[in-house]
């Protein structure tokens, strides 16, 4: 079916902000950009949302927001309650080097009761369950000696699992609950302290569909995913659920490989840990929608402290990424897709990455939009807020960047080998160790238009605002409508320029005069900039600041939906001085 815009959800916000967006224009004041109307949706996609009769990502969102999301199909439906308790482990194991043959611990108790249609209703399970059959009702138990201990296998099932718990199961099998060719709706289910070789809680595989609502996943461990694994031709939908303190090799909470559709709505993911994807790891899927997610204090020892997104197009909407860490790239979000992506209305604060960007690290992205985003206090190596490499037709617009830093280039934004614009955005107090306190562009085709820059810095005090090298075409590299405070505009000359803009010098330099500057020092050799004042310019007194820079405390997890997107407009204040900056166009 034809993909309907996920951003229908944001219609009210978009309408309320439309007037502000229309007035954004050249950004000649110190105000951050107003939120724009939601951008066009990603490319049309064929939906594969089969669980609970869901026909598309938008259908999922609509049903959840309206409270009309049903359980699975009524025909042949079985409703079951599970309570399984294991002996647990006396000493935690290192799941990143877990031997699947690790000795399982005993199953201490098991109670399973089902109601509804029981025709051919068979639940398969490991041999340890045989000792508790007197506690089973409403179904047929089939013993599977090839399953470890109390593992539950739901094959060819249509089930609703309610008010259930799986605790301290250390069977080291594929998962505590395995789905094969099944549709299961989990409602108010808790998985706590389980150790398995693949996923600590649930393995969704072989054309299965899992819908998980009002549930909690804590302290689970798995060799693949800490809590949930989604495999071949399968889909998952999660709403109003907590996933915290889980550990896996790939995906602290969730890992998906060759999945169809993934919907993650109103989730709290915090304090999860993995090699890649501290919160979520997706190597491949047909489509993914993330909406109103709180991603906090997750860690990846390699890439993607919050989300690792491989070959999987999708929409990341109205979500918060706070204090996530990647030891390499993508403190909040690591992306490597050759397909469409829309990132809209999200907030990224206090994220950290050793290499690459601390906010979003994106490479190989095409026909994508990054809009109405707020980045604050993120620390990375290249692009404190955003790194974009080898991307085509990718736009950054209507976003704010405050107090982000990079140890090398691009305190806020680093772009290399891309085509795409940077428009109507606000930069303040960002810093870089070398060049491009706000923006660092190399081999970029695209305009920087309608942006505002205030008091961004570099350790070398050169190109403190924008550094551009190897840009293509005078028209696409013009700085039209630009506002800069406490900055030196350097065009086609200066120590750190590496060459002229491609195109006529008059076209290139005339763009300087079309920019509005307050207390800006222009290069004397730029004939198109009248009255150069390289020796007498006084920095303007205007500066920008935002809220306190102390690291926010970890929030207490609760199943209630977390409202995403904090205030995006940093407050303004006065400053009597500021370091001289520059916009380096090379």
The 3-class secondary structure across 318-370, one letter per residue, is CCEEECCEECCCCCCEEEECCCCEEEECCEEECCEECCCCCCEEEECCEEEEE
**Is residue 321 assigned to a domain?**
yes
Measured in residues, the chain has a length of 586
Residue closest to 80 by CA, chosen among 130, 50, 147, 125:
125
What pLDDT is attached to residue 59?
60
Decide which of 394 and 378 is more confident: 378
Q: What whole-number distance in Å separates Cα of residue 170 and Cα of residue 557? A: 25
Rounded to an integer, the average pLDDT of 486-503 is 32
Q: What whole-number distance in Å separates Cα of residue 20 and Cα of residue 258? A: 42
HSE-up of residue 38 (Cα within 13 Å, Cβ side): 24
pLDDT band at 356 (very low <50, low <70, confident <90, very high): confident
DSSP three-state, residue 303: coil
Q: What whole-number distance in Å separates Cα of residue 458 and Cα of residue 147? A: 59
Name, of 57-66, 168-177, 249-258, 497-506, the range with top average pLDDT: 249-258
| Alpha-carbon Rg for the chain in angstroms | 26
Q: Are residues 206 and 150 in the same domain?
A: yes
**Is residue 446 assigned to a domain?**
yes
Q: Are 452 and 427 in contact (CB under 8 A)?
A: yes
Residue closest to 281 by CA, chosen among 323, 317, 247, 327:
247
Q: What whole-number distance in Å separates Cα of residue 332 and Cα of residue 317? A: 14
What pLDDT is attached to residue 465?
84
User: Which residue is it, tokens 């359980």?
Assistant: 71
**Is residue 367 assigned to a domain?**
no
**Is residue 193 assigned to a domain?**
yes
**Is residue 376 assigned to a domain?**
no
Tell the burial category of 114 from Cβ atoms under 10 Å away from its Cβ (0-12, 13-18, 19+).
Answer: buried
Instruction: Kindly report, residue by residue over 358-385, the tens digit of the pLDDT.
Output: 999 999 998 889 999 999 999 999 999 9
Q: What whole-number distance in Å separates Cα of residue 100 and Cα of residue 174? A: 9
Comparing 233-242, 259-268, 532-541, the range with the smallest average pLDDT is 532-541
| Cα torsion 301, 413, 563, 231: sign | negative
**Is residue 432 assigned to a domain?**
yes
Q: Are residues 22 and 52 in the same domain?
A: no
Q: What whole-number distance in Å separates Cα of residue 22 and Cα of residue 495? A: 39
Instruction: Kindly report, residue by residue over 77-115, the tens digit of the pLDDT.
Output: 789 999 999 988 876 666 555 555 566 788 999 999 999
Residue closest to 69 by CA, chosen among 84, 51, 86:
51
Tally of domains in the chain: 2
pLDDT band at 580 (very low <50, low <70, confident <90, very high): very low
Residue closest to 353 by CA, chosen among 387, 311, 395, 315:
387
Q: Are residues 30 and 62 in the same domain?
A: no
Q: Are residues 18 and 76 in the same domain?
A: no
User: Which residue is it, tokens 């820059």?
Assistant: 453
**Is residue 3 assigned to a domain?**
no
Q: Are 392 and 417 in contact (CB under 8 A)?
A: no
**Is residue 365 assigned to a domain?**
no
With vertex at residue 331, the alpha carbon angle to CA 330 and CA 332, rounded to the nearest 5 degrees, is 90
Comparing 296-305, 332-341, 574-583, the range with the smallest average pLDDT is 574-583
What pLDDT is attached to residue 99?
57
Tell the burial category of 258 from Cβ atoms under 10 Å away from its Cβ (0-12, 13-18, 19+).
Answer: middle
Name, of 21-35, 350-364, 552-566, the range with top average pLDDT: 350-364
Q: Phi, psi at residue 505, to the nearest 5°?
A: -65, -35
Q: Are residues 337 and 433 in the same domain?
A: no
Mapped to the 3 state alphabet, what secondary structure does 72-98 carry?
CCCCCCEEEEEEEEECCCCCCCCHHHC
Q: Looking at the predicted structure, is the pLDDT value of residue 532 above 70?
A: no
Average pLDDT over the chain, rounded to whole?
Answer: 74
Q: Are 544 and 457 in contact (CB under 8 A)?
A: no
**Domain range spanning residue 75?**
48-355
Rounded to an integer, the average pLDDT of 212-238 is 94
Instruction: Kindly report, residue by residue over 166-205, the tens digit of the pLDDT.
Output: 999 998 889 999 999 999 999 999 999 999 989 999 999 9
Q: Looking at the predicted structure, is the pLDDT value of residue 455 above 70?
A: yes
Q: Are residues 13 and 87 in the same domain?
A: no
Tokens of 331: 């403190």
Tokens of 289: 């929608």
Residue closest to 505 by CA, chosen among 480, 526, 486, 535:
526
Q: Are residues 246 and 161 in the same domain?
A: yes
DSSP 11: H
Mapped to the 3 state alphabet, what secondary structure does 108-169 carry?
EEEEEEEEECCCCCEEEECHHHHHHHHHEECCEEEECCCCCCCCEEEECCEEEEEEEEEECC
Q: Are residues 130 and 162 in the same domain?
A: yes
What pLDDT is attached to residue 460?
82
Q: Are residues 131 and 93 in the same domain?
A: yes
Q: Are residues 156 and 303 in the same domain?
A: yes
Q: Are residues 168 and 207 in the same domain?
A: yes
Comparing 13-22, 225-234, 513-522, the range with the smallest average pLDDT is 13-22
Q: Are residues 158 and 287 in the same domain?
A: yes
């Amino acid at each position: 079916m034809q993909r309907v815009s996920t951003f229908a959800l944001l219609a009210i916000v978009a309408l309320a902000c439309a007037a502000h967006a229309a007035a954004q224009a050249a950004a000649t004041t110190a105000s951050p950009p107003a939120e724009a109307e939601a951008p066009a949706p990603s490319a049309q996609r064929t939906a594969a949302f089969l669980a609970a009769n869901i026909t598309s990502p938008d259908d999922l969102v609509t049903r959840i927001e309206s409270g009309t999301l049903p359980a699975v199909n009524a025909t042949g439906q079985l409703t079951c309650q599970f309570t399984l308790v294991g002996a647990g482990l006396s000493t935690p194991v290192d799941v990143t080097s877990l031997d699947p043959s690790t000795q399982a611990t005993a199953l201490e108790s098991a109670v399973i009761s089902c109601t509804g249609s029981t025709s051919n209703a068979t639940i398969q399970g490991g041999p340890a369950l045989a000792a508790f059959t007197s506690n089973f009702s409403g179904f047929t138990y089939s013993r599977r000696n090839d399953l470890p201990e109390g593992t539950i296998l739901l094959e060819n099932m249509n089930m609703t699992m309610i008010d259930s718990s799986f605790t301290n199961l250390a069977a080291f099998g594929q998962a505590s609950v395995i789905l094969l060719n099944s549709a299961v709706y989990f409602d108010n289910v808790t998985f706590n302290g389980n150790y398995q070789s693949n996923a600590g809680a649930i393995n969704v595989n072989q054309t299965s569909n899992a819908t998980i609502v009002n549930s909690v996943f804590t302290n689970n461990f798995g060799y693949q995913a800490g809590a949930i694994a989604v495999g071949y031709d399968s889909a998952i939908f999660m709403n109003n659920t907590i996933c915290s303190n889980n550990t896996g090799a790939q995906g602290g909470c969730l890992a998906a490989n060759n999945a169809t559709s993934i919907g993650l709505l109103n989730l709290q993911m915090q304090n999860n840990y993995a090699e890649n994807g501290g919160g979520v790891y997706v190597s491949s899927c047909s489509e993914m929608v993330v909406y109103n997610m709180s991603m906090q204090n997750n860690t990846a020892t390699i890439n993607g402290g919050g989300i690792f997104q491989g070959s999987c197009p999708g929409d990341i909407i109205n979500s918060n990424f706070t204090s996530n860490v990647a030891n390499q790239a993508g403190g909040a979000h690591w992306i490597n897709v050759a397909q469409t992506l829309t990132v809209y209305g999200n907030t990224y604060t206090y994220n950290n990455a050793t290499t690459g960007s601390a906010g979003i690290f994106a490479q190989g992205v095409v026909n994508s939009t990054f809009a109405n985003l707020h980045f604050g206090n993120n620390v990375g190596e290249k692009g404190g807020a955003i790194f974009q490499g080898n991307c085509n037709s990718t736009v950054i617009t209507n976003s704010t960047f405050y107090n982000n830093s990079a140890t090398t280039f691009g305190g806020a934004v680093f772009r290399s080998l891309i085509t795409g614009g940077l428009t109507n955005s606000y930069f303040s107090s960002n810093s870089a160790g070398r060049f491009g306190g706000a923006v660092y562009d190399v081999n970029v085709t695209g305009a920087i238009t309608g942006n505002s820059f205030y008091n961004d810095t570099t350790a070398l005090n050169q190109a403190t605002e924008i550094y551009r090298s190897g840009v293509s075409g005078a028209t696409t590299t013009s700085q039209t409508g630009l506002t800069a405070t406490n900055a030196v505009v350097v065009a086609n000359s200066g120590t750190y320029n590496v060459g002229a803009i491609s195109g006529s010098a008059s076209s290139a330099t005339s763009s300087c005069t079309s920019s509005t500057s307050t207390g800006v020092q222009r290069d004397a050799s730029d004939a198109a900039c009248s009255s150069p004042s390289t020796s007498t310019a006084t920095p303007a007194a205007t500066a920008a600041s935002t809220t306190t820079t102390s690291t926010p405390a970890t929030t207490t997890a609760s199943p209630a939906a977390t409202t995403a997107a904090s205030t995006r407009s940093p407050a303004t204040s006065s400053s009597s001085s500021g370091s001289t900056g520059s916009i380096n166009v090379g």
